């Protein structure tokens, strides 16, 4: 009997995803399929993982994150010979809000890569996991999707789309063998946030990855990472507009 857990990571070169992969590689018999757009970057991540865990089987898949046909074909190929046990959908970008306001092309691509693309990947995994009645789909959203704020509302709108989609997917799979987790990281000190003021005080990707992998393992529906962001966003979501609109956040 093959007890090796197969984990597909979409956007495997992101800092948070890479640290999740490190944790999984150290947990025993796993096969990691690293999916991304840049062959060289994927090879660097794979080489690092092999140094840390030489017995981990690693596969690299280079594909497109936008084209629906490419997304469908990529996920179909992953299930050709064996099922995927965990699909972590982790890719995204974080452009400046001001740039999104002045450049409609950037506005569009921000909504597309952070909102539509993760949804299409999740739906493709859901098609296969439905037939098998097993598997976990974990989608990285953001606390930015909990309430629109002037500092990042284009990015937040895309993550809000992911939030609503994940809620529907959870409703669809309730009572089945398929689990869906929505992950909401708070500000994290990664290359994506390096230019942001105070980024050195953000949570580390190691800390966030530990919370994410533990949450997926326990099949949590919503994973705030770090957990304190559940309370912070609960307060922000419930602030009256009269107060909220005076805040510079």
Q: Which has the higher per-residue pLDDT, 115 or 195?
A: 115
pLDDT of residue 75: 98
pTM given for the model: 0.95
- What pLDDT band is residue 51 in, cutting at 50, 70 and 90? very high
Q: What is the pLDDT of residues 184-199, one digit of tens each?
A: 999 999 888 877 878 8
Q: Which has the higher per-residue pLDDT, 192 or 227?
A: 227
pLDDT of residue 116: 98
**Domain containing residue 188: CATH number:** 3.40.50.720
pLDDT of residue 1: 57
| Total domains in the fold of the chain | 1
Roughly how many angstroms between the first and final C-alpha of the chain, as a whole number?
53
Mean pLDDT of 114-130: 98
Residue-range definition of the domain harbouring residue 134: 5-245
pLDDT of residue 200: 83
Mean pLDDT of 230-237: 97
CA dihedral 98, 102, 105, 107 (to 10 degrees): 40
């Amino acid at each position: 009997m093959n007890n090796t857990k197969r984990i597909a990571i979409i956007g495997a070169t992101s800092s948070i995803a890479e640290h999740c992969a490190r944790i999984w590689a150290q947990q025993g018999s796993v096969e990691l399929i690293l999916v991304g757009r840049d062959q060289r970057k994927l090879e660097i991540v794979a080489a690092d993982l092999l140094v840390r865990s030489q017995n981990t089987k690693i596969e690299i898949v280079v594909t497109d994150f936008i084209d629906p046909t490419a997304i469908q074909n990529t996920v179909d190929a992953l299930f050709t010979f064996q099922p995927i046990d965990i699909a972590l959908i982790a890719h995204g970008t974080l452009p400046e809000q001001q740039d999104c306001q002045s450049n409609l092309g950037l506005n569009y691509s921000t909504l597309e890569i952070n909102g539509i693309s993760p949804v299409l990947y999740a739906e493709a995994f859901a098609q296969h996991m439905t037939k098998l009645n097993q598997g976990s789909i974990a989608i990285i959203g953001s606390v930015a999707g909990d309430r629109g704020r002037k500092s990042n509302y284009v990015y937040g709108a895309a993550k809000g789309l992911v939030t609503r989609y994940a809620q529907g997917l959870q409703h669809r799979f309730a009572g089945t063998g398929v689990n869906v987790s929505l992950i909401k990281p708070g500000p994290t000190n990664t290359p994506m946030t390096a230019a942001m003021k105070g980024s050195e005080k953000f949570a580390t990707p190691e800390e966030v990855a530990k919370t994410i992998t533990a949450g997926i393992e326990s099949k949590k529906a919503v994973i705030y990472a770090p957990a304190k962001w559940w309370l912070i966003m609960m307060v922000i979501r419930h602030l009256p507009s009269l107060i909220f609109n005076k805040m510079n956040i």
